[in-house]
Chain A
């Protein structure tokens, strides 16, 4: 696959530099059979450096995960070699099994089958809290 020649697929652009791999694993792109490219530290006028993910297949995009990583990410849908749509993910209201509660006192720490659910409690600062214990999501990944 020659980078930049996606025929039918998705280009996820303006990923904060260093977080492309995290997005790759959170979106479970490793499970795809098609061509997938992760470009790290591409130059970007907007934010200095950025990561880019290119997927040569029409995939269902989880905007929750993208929005959580950074709402400034852009999603470009490519059809027949042309960009047909460009979107920004919004900061999602809830995140289900995207991030995990690390509070050892939380019920999710002892009952493994419970989904880890986080709710956006402060849109301005992008603060998420666990719905079970109200612990604030760890922002270290950002």
Chain B
């Protein structure tokens, strides 16, 4: 396959940045999107050019590092897929592909496609934990948890903190991420003691970071590689209202 890429290049946080067009030839349809960028980068290095900076780590869809906006879609148009798991066979030969970083004020660009997602870390630090000394794993079933709650908590816990929800949201809201973390803990016994303070602290931190407000557009869920459901946002709102009473 031969492709034309339009990639956001930005030397550093202060640089204004611009789209730069590259031609990539002989791309195998079995390559992942990141491998295709690797091939381009090797060429750029050989040509003495600066390679395109992008984040990645596991390359197996579980770490949440590899976010980029492809043709306007966070992690590309393919649903429930991280960029590292997106294969080139989903693109047509001679396609023109735009590649941009997540766009949100609380995710400042570090370089090219790399953004700083520390704002997510601060939301977690505000309350996304339990302070009980839990010791080693308790015996199974010593504390009964309803199957439905266990499943929903597990689903919420699959959030990998990639930030695609923010990138896809027309409001730049971090509600799906924050809601996934709150829901995960508030459905389980361990999460109960700090349930109210957690909801309040995490929602307030999310707002303080400068994320937009949620208008329930659902674009987050649609682009989330883990398919975190919108119901988590209702759960977050429920917990937050309960805590504000």
Report whether chain A binds chain B: no
